[in-house]
Amino acid sequence: MKKEAGGFGETLKTVFYAVLIAFGVRTFAYEPFNIPSGSMIPTLLIGDYLFVSKFSYGYSKYTVAFGLPLFDGRVLGRMPERGDVAVFKLPRDNKTDYIKRVIGLPGDTIQVVGGVLHINGQPVKRERIEDYVATGPNGREVRTTQYLETLPNGVSHRIIEETDHGPLDDTPVYTVPEGHLFMMGDNRDNSLDSRVPSMVGYVPIENMVGRAEFLFFSLDEGTRFFEVWRWPFDLRFSRLFDGVD
């Protein structure tokens, strides 16, 4: 009986330590997220699962305290770099997780003119490349104009544009306040981001959760994670362990 009790106690201890380690990793190191919308196409697809590094920008109450008012500001804070793909808490409610690309840093002016991004009064270079090809809901091929955009710090990434004359393709000049960032999606005509002040607007650096690092799983749109029987057919093998650029 003593042996059985000891065995049960050891099992409980092992489970406790495993949970503690998992909690510590998720809180201070890496947290998994999945992509529910197409605002970051072509970089991220609906059905992608990725790890976000919590330590990239330091720690805030949104990083380690689940939004509880335990402390203000950031500990070991570091400024995000222009071009980073990052998860943040939506300023409107400080709860909803959003993922976008860092475009504007504190003090920058941002404007979109005829679909072309301007940073500090200068147009950002974009180069027309091959169309982005996807399969529509009816199974037909859908092609969207795709560009390689190069930010002032040399970071290049792909964006898609259905048109250069949409509601977010000509904007006023935004001046990023101190302590805030300007975030945009790579699917420029289908992204609710800092270009819409009433919905997203400028993002406080304190709201940053972490930087997107790499994909660890990816399923075709419409396939849910628990539908294991569909994995052999709907798993996007080519995207596994891809870095997020």
Q: What's the topology of domain 30-239?
A: Umud Fragment, subunit A (2.10.109)
Provide CB contacts within 8 A for 73, sequence distance 6+. 60, 206
**Each residue of 19-70: pLDDT tens digit?**
545 445 456 568 999 999 999 999 999 999 999 999 999 988 888 766 666 7
209: number of Cβ within 10 Å = 23
Beta strands in the chain (DSSP E): 30-34, 48-53, 85-89, 97-104, 109-113, 116-119, 122-123, 125-128, 132-135, 141-150, 156-161, 174-175, 180-184, 203-204, 208-218
Identify whether the C-beta of residue 159 lies closer than 8 Å to the C-beta of residue 186.
Answer: yes
Contacts of 77 (CB under 8 A, 6+ apart): 57, 58, 60, 205
Among residues 213, 158, 211, the alpha carbon closest in space to that of 186 is found at 158
Active site residues: 39, 100
Q: Which residues contact 124 (CB under 8 A, 6 or more apart)?
A: 116, 117, 118, 149, 150, 151, 152
Among 8-12, 133-137, 191-195, which range has the highest average pLDDT? 191-195
Q: For 126-130, 137-141, 186-190, which range has the lowest pLDDT when averaged over its residues?
A: 137-141
pTM listed for this prediction: 0.87
Percent of the chain with pLDDT over 90: 75
Whether a cis peptide bond, with omega within 30° of 0, leads into 32 is: no
Q: pLDDT, tens digit, for every residue of 78-109?
A: 999 999 999 999 999 999 999 999 999 999 99
Q: Which residue has the tokens 């976000």?
A: 52
**Residue-level pLDDT at 17:** 44
